[in-house]
Amino acid sequence: MKDFICVDWKRGSRWLPFFVCLLASNTVASELSKEELLRIGALIFHNECASQNACLTSWNKGEAFASLGIGHFIWYPEGVPESSKKFDESFPKLLAWMRYQGTEIPIWLLKQKGNPWKNRKHFEHIKNTARIQRLRDFLLKTRDLQVDFIKNRLKNALPRILQHISQKKRPHIRQQFQYVANSPMGFYPLMDYVNFKGEGIKLSERYQGKAWGLLQVLGHMQSSSSGLACIQDFANSAVFILTRRVSLSPPSRHENRWLQGWKKRMSSYHDEAMKAPFKLLKK
């Protein structure tokens, strides 16, 4: 099976089951084993949901969207214009990718033009209904597909990032990516962060002109080789970038409430690398 990222085509407000599949970059030189993917998936599930099944269907306070699945994939309410979607809407892309894989998807999800819940208050009111429970069951059953979707997003992240920066900056970004990827458990921080905070190239995902995605974390790194020190450098860089994000965020969002949790998440990158009996990606 070829690795790809899904680029969704839209007609009006309806998500169509058609997308362009872009081949993965050769930068990621080898496939992860099923064991390795399951391990990373479990870590991402823990980061997003504390490994609690009830959290697979969530709507966080202060957010304008629902967060679904092990990666808390974003789904905006139906009718929200594209211009108002500040953050990358990943749940429809996940569904399109699952459908391409031949996964049986609940019919009501396929018929939806967007998130059917108006806001968090509406979602909280219906979150224990039979339909939502069936949605959680579906998301629990398809955890392997979800982590594979995240893996494929990462495989296409570097070429997308390089297209958005100058020729002068490309060698540093490419080298730092390779150093992390070839470090113990290197695929874990890369997959988790790109799913968590994106590639860092979406113009709407920035405060006061400063973004906080994978591009910015790699750009701030100064590693000279792979290894545990490189993973620590990645984690430290991510903390710097996320702390800057919070300092630049609108006061009304109260983003400081999330910072300690984000820092704890970053510390898990080095902790897991210390326990790793193997490298997830070989040169």
In 10 A of CB 152, how many CB atoms? Answer: 22
pLDDT of residue 21: 37
Report how many domains make up the chain. Answer: 2
What gap in Å lies between CA 263 and CA 247, rounded to an integer?
Answer: 15
Do residue 9 and residue 104 come from a single domain?
yes
Amino acid at residue number 123: F
Do residue 170 and residue 56 come from a single domain?
no
pLDDT of residue 16: 35
What gap in Å lies between CA 214 and CA 198, rounded to an integer?
Answer: 6
Do residue 134 and residue 225 come from a single domain?
no
pLDDT of residue 9: 33
Q: Residue 193 is part of which domain span?
A: 164-283
pLDDT of residue 34: 86
Whole-model pTM? Answer: 0.87
Note whether 194 and 213 are within 8 A (CB).
yes
What gap in Å lies between CA 67 and CA 176, rounded to an integer?
Answer: 30
Do residue 184 and residue 115 come from a single domain?
no
pLDDT of residue 35: 87
What gap in Å lies between CA 134 and CA 11, rounded to an integer?
Answer: 29
Q: How far apart are the first and last CA of the chain?
A: 22
For residue 229 the two structure tokens come to 């020190």
Do residue 169 and residue 79 come from a single domain?
no
Do residue 182 and residue 134 come from a single domain?
no
Do residue 63 and residue 148 come from a single domain?
yes
pLDDT of residue 276: 77
Do residue 49 and residue 180 come from a single domain?
no
pLDDT of residue 31: 65
Listed residues 144, 159, 174: the one ending a domain? 159
The CA-CA-CA angle for residues 116, 118, 120, to 5°, reads 110
Listed residues 116, 143, 159: the one ending a domain? 159
Do residue 87 and residue 26 come from a single domain?
yes
What gap in Å lies between CA 270 and CA 110, rounded to an integer?
Answer: 40
Do residue 39 and residue 171 come from a single domain?
no
Do residue 146 and residue 170 come from a single domain?
no
What gap in Å lies between CA 202 and CA 96, rounded to an integer?
Answer: 21
Nearest in space to 157 (alpha carbons), one of 145, 168, 166, 165:
165
Do residue 34 and residue 141 come from a single domain?
yes
Listed residues 159, 187, 220: the one ending a domain? 159
Instruction: Tell me the pLDDT of the chain (283 aa) as tens digits.
Output: 333 333 333 333 333 333 333 333 434 435 678 888 999 999 999 999 999 999 999 999 989 999 999 999 999 999 999 989 999 999 999 999 999 999 999 999 989 999 999 999 999 999 999 999 999 999 999 999 999 999 999 999 999 999 999 999 999 999 999 999 999 999 999 999 999 999 999 999 999 999 999 999 999 999 999 999 999 999 999 999 999 999 999 999 999 999 999 999 999 999 999 987 544 444 3
What gap in Å lies between CA 155 and CA 192, rounded to an integer?
Answer: 13
